[in-house]
């Protein structure tokens, strides 16, 4: 029977575990930081370069949505750099269906802070920010308390643990916009401006990020993993999960399952079917219900239809047998995104489901660039017209036309985020859309 | 802004080879950005070099790049990534392999790049007119139009609207849009001179960038989200710097309109005349829009040596007086020009050398000042013009409020300090050594020569366009022209000699000063000058040292003018 594998959440939910520093240290906290700070130079390789190499070798991929190699992202910043380098923890967790980062922030904040301090040390960062979702008011308080504790103990501030390295971390609360999770939008917001994502090129954060300085933006879960990579070594980390999909993933499971919640799994070692049906995870659908669809990686990921069979090279694989990892989900035309699985059973009107998503995206489009600004609301209006008895035979193609004019033509990935659900829902559930015609 | 990209100006212009619509072109590797700094040439600029216009709304050569309208999306082909040997993929014939860009996640679908922010890569192919590019443009235009009110019939921008123009060139006749349009605020009073129609706005942010980055007034921003986005000012803080009307110029659609011009005239009825602003010594280049002898607006005309594409609001709106009913339009002292000039000639011929003084205006043209100087030389007259000082600003407004102080200096009507001779002239009149005074365009009673002094003169010849205490005492009053009613040149604060053209006819009997001065000079001095402005200018260019040094001639001034040593 597939089991959870608790690496990041090892202690968080344990009885008697609290989010204060004393408890964290009692459970071995900040040992990884001490270890990182005492790495000896090896030849030309500085301790920092060795740490960065270790993260690259671990195969750690970003847990925020894109699944990009963390070590590679770090390597885009040149050292030594004439400008200050900043690190930002993206704690804006706002992808619908996602509720994993908050578990760490609320229950084990020092794990994140330790991961951040190590990452800052590795990348020569003296000033870092945690950009936290505005709605996490309590989370911001918890982080500030934890930062104060860490500061008092010398884990932050001047000359951390005698290493000669200075670091300060500030918590910055967002004000409730999804787009602030997009890294360049986040940077603009952190600079005190409207969170309009920047054009790339030229504004890649690694070169022209916060205050036009090199900036690394990493997700909460990603930064926590850095601590574990230091602790267990890159090689041991690669043994977790599956090749190129190393480590564990925090999965947020929601929708029509008996036991929704968050789970930590070895990446790729548990299938979608197991996550939905197994007693250790979703516990199956409600009595008498059939699976209709699965949104596998947050609301932006392309929907999968119950009963779908995918061709992977020579092999065929059924939806429920798809291992939950980065690469397989990409190969079957979707993504594991932020690790948020939304299960839709046959009691749901699929057009209503999409209309609900479209409303979210129309509301959250920042409106900076034309295709997304106009297209997101257009799709929303069309879908709500359809769910209000005004559907037309041509609406499936009409929706496709609108969505195709958004994807790949916008400043940021929000364009894809709002187009992909529409494109995939319409493609896979065309009958349902055509049935809405008067 | 990135400050690392310091680029040395290359001595030889380096070029980069790209293909535009299948045609091989070599374009400069570097092109000036909005601040004039040389930066890598973009796809949009490369196409311009190749003679192909890429449609755009948010891009403006004199503003920071925003990349938001997506109208300049172009399908391009790029060389592949270098292989393990470090070499990019090659064709069989040894040429660089170029692959049309596709979406990374949907390899059958072409991907565009925004021309305004994409730098050239050697070997790049730009499919500026391909069906793929056309399709992208159509889609962006469709998106821009779905919530647009399509109210061209009552829109002031009609006729010079980029939505209209691109719809004709790149759009599709029909939209599939079957929903309700978004309604947004209309006739929003943004400030004393600008009105916003948020429904017409394409949210290109040109106005925001202009105000923040050029005018230095971070007054405009966007409120709300998504399709409900709207340009706004801070609550209670009207959009009121001295450059607000430039936003109406650069607004590609009818969203921002000038209160002064809106609902006054269809733009296609306007006759356009190149002119100059006379509000200060900067000499911003303008275009006058007039119809049936009435001036409706003046807009900045781009000249990088002077004003770039901008001008200040106070200068732009300083034209209402031109059509005023209070303008002088009748001769005073005789009934017709022939008689009055003959009488003046007779009187002047009687005047003794050094008994004549001339007070000209630094609002007069070089040609007029040159002719007055001829008269002055004949009588060895003491001359001067009146200084007019105010406040300058960081952008275009100069503290010298005369448009032609440098002309007065170079031609020799005034010394370095304008007005330095005025006390001497007053004294000369007082003690009776000066018996004849010629005044052009100034009320000298405001500048140290009292009405009582004027009463002492044997001969007072005045030319002006409005009545004042000086004109009231003139023995001969010659009604002159506003700048919009004549041709001529000014020399601006930097020594830029620039010409302006005639847009309107002068009222009644008023005549261009250079015309009657030319006659007067011929009568009095016997020198036969040129009776055309071109000839007159060229004659002056041969006699005034600073002009001679640059071998100026009327034709060579072109639209932008020529800088002379000041």
Of B67, B147, B221, the CB nearest to A374: B147
Q: Which residue in chain A has the smallest CA separation from B2?
A: A212
- Nearest CA among B2, B5, B6, B30 for reference residue B16: B30
Measured between CB atoms, does B544 come within 8 Å of chain A?
A: no
Indicate the burial class of B45 (C-beta count within 10 angstroms; 0-12, 13-18, 19 or more). buried
Res B566 pLDDT > 70:
yes
Please list every residue in chain B whose beta carbon sits closer than 8 Å to the beta carbon of residue A210.
none
Number of Cβ pairs < 8 A linking chain A and chain B: 109
Per residue in A100-141, pLDDT (tens digit) is: 999 999 999 999 999 999 999 999 999 999 999 999 999 999
This prediction's pTM:
0.94
Pick the CATH number of A247-345 from 3.50.50.60, 3.10.20.600, 3.30.1330.10, 3.40.50.720: 3.10.20.600
Q: Residues with Cβ < 8 Å from B515, sequence gap 6 or more? A: none
* DSSP result, A179-192: GGGSHHHHHHHHTT
- Nearest CA among A183, A247, A195 for reference residue A221: A247
Query: CA-to-CA distance for B32 and A43, rounded, in angstroms?
Result: 46
- Nearest CA among A1, A27, A2 for reference residue A13: A27
Per-residue pLDDT of chain A in tens (438 residues, 90 and over written 9): 789 999 999 999 999 999 999 999 999 999 999 999 999 999 889 999 999 999 999 999 999 989 999 999 999 999 999 999 999 999 999 999 999 999 999 999 999 999 999 999 999 999 999 999 999 999 999 999 999 999 999 999 999 999 999 999 999 999 989 999 999 999 999 999 999 999 999 999 999 999 999 999 999 999 999 999 999 999 999 999 999 999 999 999 999 999 999 999 999 999 999 999 999 999 999 999 999 999 999 999 999 999 999 999 899 999 999 999 999 999 999 999 999 999 999 999 999 999 999 999 999 999 999 999 999 999 999 999 999 999 999 999 999 999 999 999 999 999 999 999 999 999 999 999 999 997
Per residue in B142-184, pLDDT (tens digit) is: 999 999 999 999 999 999 999 999 999 988 878 899 999 999 9
pLDDT at position B7 = 52
Measured between CB atoms, does A208 come within 8 Å of chain B?
A: yes
Pick the CATH number of A350-434 from 1.10.3720.10, 1.20.1440.230, 2.40.50.180, 1.10.1840.10: 1.20.1440.230
- B295–chain A nearest CA distance, Å: 37
Q: What is the DSSP letter of B176?
A: -
Please list every residue in chain B whose beta carbon sits closer than 8 Å to the beta carbon of residue A191.
none
- B220–chain A nearest CA distance, Å: 12
Cβ within 8 Å, pair B2-A208: yes
Domain boundaries, chain A: 21-239, 247-345, 350-434
Cβ within 8 Å, pair B111-A398: no
Q: Assess contact for B77 and B20: CB atoms under 8 A.
A: no
Per residue in A295-341, pLDDT (tens digit) is: 999 999 999 999 999 999 899 999 999 999 999 999 999 999 999 99
Q: Assess contact for A336 and A249: CB atoms under 8 A.
A: yes
Task: Choose between B239 and B96: higher pLDDT.
Answer: B239
Query: CA-to-CA distance for B408 and B367, rounded, in angstroms?
Result: 10
On the CB side of B435, how many CA atoms lie within 13 Å of its CA? Answer: 12
Q: Which residue in chain B has the smallest CA separation from A411?
A: B68
Q: Is this complex's ipTM strictly greater than 0.85? A: yes
Q: Top-level CATH class of A21-239?
A: alpha beta
- B125–chain A nearest CA distance, Å: 18
Of B3, B68, B111, the CB nearest to A369: B68
A-contacting residues of B 40-79, CB under 8 Å?
65-71, 73
Indicate the burial class of B53 (C-beta count within 10 angstroms; 0-12, 13-18, 19 or more). exposed
- B179–chain A nearest CA distance, Å: 6
Query: CA-to-CA distance for B46 and B119, rounded, in angstroms?
Result: 9
């Amino acid at each position: 029977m597939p089991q959870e594998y608790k690496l990041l959440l090892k202690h968080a939910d344990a009885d008697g575990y609290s989010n204060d520093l004393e408890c964290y240290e009692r459970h071995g906290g900040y040992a990884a930081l001490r270890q990182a700070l005492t790495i000896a130079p090896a030849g030309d390789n500085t301790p920092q370069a060795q740490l960065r190499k270790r993260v690259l070798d671990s195969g750690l991929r970003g847990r925020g949505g894109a699944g990009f190699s963390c070590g590679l992202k770090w390597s885009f910043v040149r050292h030594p750099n004439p400008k200050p380098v900043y690190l930002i923890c993206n704690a804006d967790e706002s992808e619908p269906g996602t509720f994993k980062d908050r578990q760490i922030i609320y229950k084990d904040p020092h794990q994140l802070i330790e991961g951040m301090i190590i990452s800052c040390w590795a990348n020569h960062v003296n000033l870092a920010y945690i950009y936290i979702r505005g709605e996490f008011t309590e989370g911001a308080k918890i982080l500030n308390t934890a930062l104060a504790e860490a500061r008092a103990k010398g884990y932050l501030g001047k000359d951390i643990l005698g290493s000669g390295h200075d670091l300060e971390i500030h918590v910055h609360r967002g004000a409730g916009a999804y787009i602030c999770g997009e890294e360049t939008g986040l940077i603009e917001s952190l600079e005190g401006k409207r969170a309009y994502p920047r054009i790339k090129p030229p504004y890649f954060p690694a070169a022209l990020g916060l205050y036009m300085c090199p900036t690394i933006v990493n997700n909460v879960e990603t930064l926590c993993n850095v601590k574990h990579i230091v602790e267990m070594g890159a090689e041991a980390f690669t043994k977790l999960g599956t090749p190129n999909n190393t480590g564990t993933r925090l999965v947020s499971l929601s929708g029509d399952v008996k036991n929704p919640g968050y789970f930590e799994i070895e990446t790729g070692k548990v299938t979608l079917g197991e996550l939905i049906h197994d007693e250790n995870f979703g516990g199956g659908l409600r009595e008498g219900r059939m699976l209709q669809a699965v949104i596998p990686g947050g609301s932006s990921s392309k929907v999968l239809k119950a009963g779908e069979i995918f061709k992977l090279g020579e092999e065929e694989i059924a939806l429920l047998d798809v291992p939950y990892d980065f690469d397989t989900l990409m190969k079957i035309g979707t993504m594991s995104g932020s690790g948020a699985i939304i299960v839709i059973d046959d009691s749901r009107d699929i057009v209503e489901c999409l209309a609900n998503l479209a409303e979210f995206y129309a509301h959250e489009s920042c409106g900076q660039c034309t295709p997304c600004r106009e297209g997101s609301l257009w799709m929303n209006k069309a879908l709500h017209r359809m769910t209000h008895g005004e559907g037309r035979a041509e609406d499936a193609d009409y929706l496709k036309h609108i969505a195709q004019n958004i994807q790949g033509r916008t400043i940021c990935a929000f364009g894809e985020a709002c187009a992909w659900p529409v494109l995939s829902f319409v493609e896979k559930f065309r009958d349902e859309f055509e049935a809405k015609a008067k | 802004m990135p400050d690392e990209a310091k680029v040395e100006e290359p001595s030889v212009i380096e070029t980069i080879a790209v293909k535009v619509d299948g045609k091989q072109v070599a374009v400069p590797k570097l092109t000036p950005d909005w601040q004039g700094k040389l930066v890598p040439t973009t796809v949009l600029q490369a196409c311009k070099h190749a003679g192909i216009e890429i449609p755009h709304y948010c891009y403006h050569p004199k503003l920071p790049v925003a990349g938001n309208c997506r109208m300049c999306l172009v399908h391009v082909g790029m060389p592949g990534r270098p292989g393990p040997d470090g070499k990019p993929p090659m064709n069989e014939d040894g040429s660089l392999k170029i692959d049309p860009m596709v979406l990374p996640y949907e390899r059958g679908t072409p991907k565009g790049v925004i021309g305004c922010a994409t730098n050239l890569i050697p070997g790049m192919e730009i499919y500026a007119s391909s069906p793929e590019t056309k399709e992208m443009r159509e889609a962006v235009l469709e998106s821009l139009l779905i919530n647009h009110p399509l109210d061209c019939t009552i829109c002031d921008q009609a006729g010079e609207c980029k939505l209209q123009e691109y719809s004709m060139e790149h759009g599709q006749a029909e939209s599939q849009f079957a929903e309700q349009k978004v309604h947004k605020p209309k006739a929003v009073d943004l400030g004393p001179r600008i009105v916003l129609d948020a429904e017409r706005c394409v949210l290109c942010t040109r106005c925001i960038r202009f105000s923040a980055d050029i005018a230095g007034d971070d007054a405009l921003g966007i409120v709300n989200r998504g399709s409900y986005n709207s340009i706004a000012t801070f609550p209670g803080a009207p959009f009121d710097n001295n450059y607000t009307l430039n936003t109406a110029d650069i607004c590609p659609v009818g969203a921002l309109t000038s209160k002064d011009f809106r609902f006054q005239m269809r733009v296609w009825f306007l006759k356009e005349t190149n002119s100059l602003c006379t509000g200060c010594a900067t000499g911003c280049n303008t275009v006058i829009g007039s119809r049936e002898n009435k001036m409706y607006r003046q807009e900045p005309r781009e000249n990088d040596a002077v004003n770039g594409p901008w001008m200040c609001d106070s200068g732009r709106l300083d034209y209402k007086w031109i059509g005023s009913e209070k303008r002088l339009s009748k001769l005073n002292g005789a009934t017709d020009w022939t008689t009055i000039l003959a009488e003046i000639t007779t009187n002047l011929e009687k005047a003794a050398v050094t008994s004549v003084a001339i007070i000209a205006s630094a609002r007069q043209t070089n040609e007029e000042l040159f002719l007055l100087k001829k008269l002055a030389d004949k009588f060895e007259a003491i001359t001067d013009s009146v200084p007019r000082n105010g406040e300058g600003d960081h952008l275009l407004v100069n503290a010298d409020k005369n448009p032609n102080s440098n002309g007065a200096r170079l031609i020799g009507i005034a010394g370095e300090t304008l007005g330095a001779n005025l006390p001497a002239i007053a004294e000369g009149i007082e003690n009776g050594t000066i018996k004849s005074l010629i005044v052009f365009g100034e009320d000298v009673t405001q500048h140290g020569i009292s009405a009582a002094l004027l009463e002492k003169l044997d001969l007072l010849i005045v030319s002006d366009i409005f009545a004042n205490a000086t004109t009231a005492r003139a023995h001969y009053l010659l009604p002159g022209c506003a700048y919009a009613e004549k041709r001529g040149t000014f020399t601006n604060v930097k020594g830029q000699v620039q010409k302006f053209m005639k847009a309107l006819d002068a009222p009644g009997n008023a005549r261009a000063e250079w015309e009657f001065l030319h006659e007067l000079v011929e009568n009095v001095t016997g020198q036969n000058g040129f009776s055309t402005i071109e000839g007159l200018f060229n004659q002056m260019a041969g006699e005034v040292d600073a002009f001679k040094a640059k071998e100026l001639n009327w034709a060579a001034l072109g639209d932008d003018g020529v800088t002379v040593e000041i």
